[in-house]
Amino acid sequence: MKILSAEQLNEADKITLENEHISSTRLMERAASLVFNEIHTRLEGADIKIKIFCGIGNNGGDGLVIGRLLHKYGYNVEVFIVDYSDKRSDDFLINYDRYKKESSSWPEVIEENTDFPEISPGEFVVDAIFGIGLNRPAKGWLAKLLKHINNSGAFTLAVDMPSGLFPNKAPQKDATIIKANYTLSFQNPKLTFFLPETMNFIGELQILDIGLDRDFLKEVKAVAQLIGKREARQLYRPRKRNSHKGDYGHTLVVGGSYGKIGSIVLSAKAVLRSGAGLCSVYTPKCGYQILQTALPEAMVITDKAEKELSEIKPGLEPDVVCFGMGAGKSQTTANAFKALLEETEKPMLIDADGLNMISENMDFLNALPKNSILTPHPKELERLIGSWEDDFEKMEKVKDFSKTNDLILVLKGSHSFVFSEGNMYINNSGNPGMATAGSGDVLSGIIAGLMSQKYEPLVAAILGVYMHGLAGDICAEEMGVETLISGDLCDYLGQAFLALEKE
Ligand SMILES: NC(=O)C1=CN([C@@H]2O[C@H](COP(=O)(O)OP(=O)(O)OC[C@H]3O[C@@H](n4cnc5c(N)ncnc54)[C@H](OP(=O)(O)O)[C@@H]3O)[C@@H](O)[C@H]2O)[C@@H](O)CC1
Ligand SMILES: Nc1ncnc2c1ncn2[C@@H]1O[C@H](COP(=O)(O)OP(=O)(O)O)[C@@H](O)[C@H]1O
Ligand SMILES: [K+]
């Protein structure tokens, strides 16, 4: 699904009105009715107190339509106008009058010196104060009102966006923002919903298709692509009946050091579980028995050194090398890594200490094969590209870094981001159960395993990240988030592939 900016959504809105020959009031009615339907389906007429806070722009207009419909269906609803400006939008005014006419009362107006209405924890709040039109931080009494709503403990539903959040730029550090339990957003998701600093404000997210112009939405260049099951399924290639293990490639996992052999066990297991034909592991001598015991399906080649990688001479031609997990970053290992980079021509996957060694020797980047994949978590990323002011600046820096160095970068997080050639793909699977030691090692194995099956590196990265998260989701569903450990992700990959194929 495409992630669009506020400007693009406004353009889509304009083109829809022209092509469908409808008024903006009709479109607002359509959009807000969908929100009403969602509320009505869930509340089923329950006698719960509903308070709707409306701004004076079109987000407020939506709130008034929702209020009118809830009133019509007999709900216990109170509507408040948050009177932060006298520049009311036309559709706000039209719906303000309609509300008055159909509910035979004027909504209550909240201004600078008004006492805020009391809100009890059991009530239901609809936030229709600001949507995509927010253009500066909410200040003064307005910020106080947002805090008052946040502190009430009431269930809060945000219409289109939680008020105070910008769709495509970072909020100020001390900004006041509605902390929604649920966000019903129109047509396309907004970038801010997926960034670490802002994602917690939206609660659960649902996108409502309000029928904006199909052709426009198809043609417009997305800010980013959101990768869900539908998108991932399009990337997946089912196996041919008459295939053999040679068709699925040979992955070489290189890494491990004394006390950190577990990381390559996890990666290698994920390589095989994601479908690679063969997997070899190159590791210091101390890893030999552990690997042969823990993962008999993998072949093991040992370094001449006992506890660390000192010279990477596997004596085979793999389809892909997956380097760095648990490798440590001694000078000896860094020299061996440099030599490996220089000898390798096919795209590689570099993770963990491989990334740290690059950060300490940025010239290694020159030897990295084109289209290789780096998989940093935020700390590793910071070592690679330096710090950033906010998430949006971080995105831009990573985009530049991946473009300049001709590489694909997977930035791991609650929503992992894949960057390639200036494009951005945001993963929508996964859960906090995956915040556990070794889950990154599993991810590197999955992506490398897909690369060895001749998935293009970018496709392997996007699909691999999605499958990793999907395995985590199925697993968490069965055992809960606390109990999930990274080895489980390998074990649940099978169910994830099955789920991907299922409609
Ligand atoms: N696009 C679509 O397809 C559809 C969109 N729809 C709906 O329209 C919504 C967008 O509506 P919108 O453009 O009227 O903007 P909105 O969010 O109501 O706020 C604008 C007002 O806020 C003001 N203002 C801003 N920041 C401020 C601040 N810090 N403090 C104080 N004031 C501030 C700003 O004032 P100004 O900057 O002019 O002073 C202006 O008056 C969208 O989210 C969705 O709900 C649907 O109905 C149908 C389809
Ligand atoms: N809250 C979360 N939601 C979804 N995925 C998560 C979450 N926390 C961690 N993950 C995923 O788990 C993996 C953790 O990787 P990493 O930090 O490298 O761990 P490790 O170094 O222990 O292997 C990443 O793929 C990340 O996207
Ligand atoms: K809102």
Residue range 345-353: mean pLDDT, rounded: 98
- 410 Cβ inside 6 Å of ligand 2: no
Residue 28 confidence (pLDDT) above 90: yes
User: Is residue 238 in a domain?
Assistant: no
User: Is residue 235 in a domain?
Assistant: no
d(CA 404, CA 151): 46
On whether both 403 and 355 belong to a single domain, the answer is yes
Nearest to 348 by CA among 451, 467, 459, 462: 451
Q: Radius of gyration (Cα) for the chain, nearest Å?
A: 26
List pLDDT tens digits, range 242-264.
Answer: 888 888 999 999 999 999 999 99
On whether both 318 and 423 belong to a single domain, the answer is yes
Residue 240 confidence (pLDDT) above 90: no
Q: Under 8 Å CB-to-CB from 273, ≥6 apart: which residues?
A: 445, 446, 449, 490, 491, 493, 494
99-113, 324-338, 476-490: least confidently modelled range: 99-113
- 416 Cβ inside 6 Å of ligand 2: yes
Cβ atoms of 158 and 182 closer than 8 Å: yes
In Å, how far are 6, 127, 128, 185, 309 from 131, measured between CA atoms? 9, 9, 7, 9, 54
- 435 Cβ inside 6 Å of ligand 2: yes
List pLDDT tens digits, range 383-392.
Answer: 999 999 999 9
DSSP code at position 349: E
pLDDT (0 to 100) of residue 397: 97
In Å, how far are 335, 365, 416, 420, 443 from 370, measured between CA atoms? 20, 10, 22, 12, 21
CA of 134 to the centre of ligand 1 (A): 6
pLDDT (0 to 100) of residue 105: 80
On whether both 181 and 302 belong to a single domain, the answer is no
CA 175 to chain CA mean position, Å: 22
Residue range 233-248: mean pLDDT, rounded: 90
Residue 184 sits in a domain of what CATH number? Answer: 3.40.50.10260
Which phi and psi (to 5°) does residue 86 adopt? -100, 10
Residue of 54, 132, 159 to test ligand 1 pocket, by largest number of atoms within 8 Å of CB: 132
Q: Which domain does 30 fall in, by range?
A: 2-222
User: Is residue 196 in a domain?
Assistant: yes
Residue 208 confidence (pLDDT) above 80: yes
3-class SS of residue 333: helix
User: Is residue 241 in a domain?
Assistant: no
User: Is residue 242 in a domain?
Assistant: no
* Predicted confidence band of residue 327 (pLDDT cuts 50, 70, 90): very high
pLDDT (0 to 100) of residue 490: 97
Residue range 160-167: mean pLDDT, rounded: 97
Cβ atoms of 404 and 398 closer than 8 Å: no
On whether both 170 and 306 belong to a single domain, the answer is no
List pLDDT tens digits, range 442-471.
Answer: 999 999 999 999 999 999 999 999 999 999
**Crossing angle of helices 352-360 and 378-385, rounded to 10°:** 20
DSSP code at position 240: P
The residue out of 222, 237, 263 marking a domain boundary is: 222
- 431 Cβ inside 6 Å of ligand 2: yes
Here the tokens at position 265 are 């066990």
Residue 503 confidence (pLDDT) above 80: no
Residue of 253, 350, 434, 493 to test ligand 2 pocket, by largest number of atoms within 8 Å of CB: 434
- 146 Cβ inside 6 Å of ligand 1: no
CA of 469 to the centre of ligand 2 (A): 9
300, β-bridge pairs: 281
User: Is residue 84 in a domain?
Assistant: yes
CA of 61 to the centre of ligand 1 (A): 9
Residue 42 confidence (pLDDT) above 90: yes
Residue 32 confidence (pLDDT) above 80: yes
pLDDT (0 to 100) of residue 256: 98
Cβ atoms of 350 and 324 closer than 8 Å: yes
- 439 Cβ inside 6 Å of ligand 2: yes
Nearest to 497 by CA among 161, 237, 182, 218: 237
User: Is residue 229 in a domain?
Assistant: no
* Predicted confidence band of residue 302 (pLDDT cuts 50, 70, 90): very high
On whether both 367 and 425 belong to a single domain, the answer is yes
pLDDT (0 to 100) of residue 245: 82
On whether both 447 and 484 belong to a single domain, the answer is yes
Residue of 260, 374, 412, 426 to test ligand 2 pocket, by largest number of atoms within 8 Å of CB: 412
d(CA 30, CA 37): 11
On whether both 463 and 337 belong to a single domain, the answer is yes
Which phi and psi (to 5°) does residue 371 adopt? 70, 15
List pLDDT tens digits, range 426-444.
Answer: 999 999 999 999 999 999 9
On whether both 172 and 282 belong to a single domain, the answer is no
Residue range 141-153: mean pLDDT, rounded: 97
List pLDDT tens digits, range 61-77.
Answer: 999 999 999 999 999 99
In Å, how far are 269, 295, 435, 495 from 486, measured between CA atoms? 11, 15, 9, 15
CA of 402 to the centre of ligand 2 (A): 21
On whether both 470 and 326 belong to a single domain, the answer is yes
3-class SS of residue 74: coil
Q: Which ligand is nearest to the CA of 201?
A: 3
- 211 Cβ inside 6 Å of ligand 1: no
On whether both 214 and 255 belong to a single domain, the answer is no
On whether both 155 and 53 belong to a single domain, the answer is yes
- Give, using CA atoms, the residue closest to atom 11 of ligand 2: 434
d(CA 392, CA 376): 17
What mean pLDDT value characterizes the chain?
97
Which atom number of ligand 2 is nearest to the Cα of residue 413? 27
Here the tokens at position 95 are 């719906």
- 137 Cβ inside 6 Å of ligand 1: yes
pLDDT (0 to 100) of residue 385: 97
Residue 304 sits in a domain of what CATH number? Answer: 3.40.1190.20
Residue range 10-16: mean pLDDT, rounded: 97
On whether both 384 and 454 belong to a single domain, the answer is yes
What is the count of structural domains for the chain?
Answer: 2
Q: What percent of the chain has pLDDT over 70?
A: 100
* Predicted confidence band of residue 241 (pLDDT cuts 50, 70, 90): confident
List pLDDT tens digits, range 363-390.
Answer: 999 999 999 999 999 999 999 999 999 9
The residue out of 222, 257, 289 marking a domain boundary is: 222
Here the tokens at position 487 are 């080895």
The residue out of 222, 239, 258 marking a domain boundary is: 222
Which atom number of ligand 2 is nearest to the Cα of residue 437? 22
* Predicted confidence band of residue 153 (pLDDT cuts 50, 70, 90): very high
- Give, using CA atoms, the residue closest to atom 15 of ligand 1: 133
CA of 57 to the centre of ligand 1 (A): 5
Residue 103 confidence (pLDDT) above 90: no
- Give, using CA atoms, the residue closest to atom 31 of ligand 1: 84
Q: Answer whether 0.90 is exceeded by the pTM.
A: yes
User: Is residue 97 in a domain?
Assistant: yes
* Predicted confidence band of residue 104 (pLDDT cuts 50, 70, 90): confident
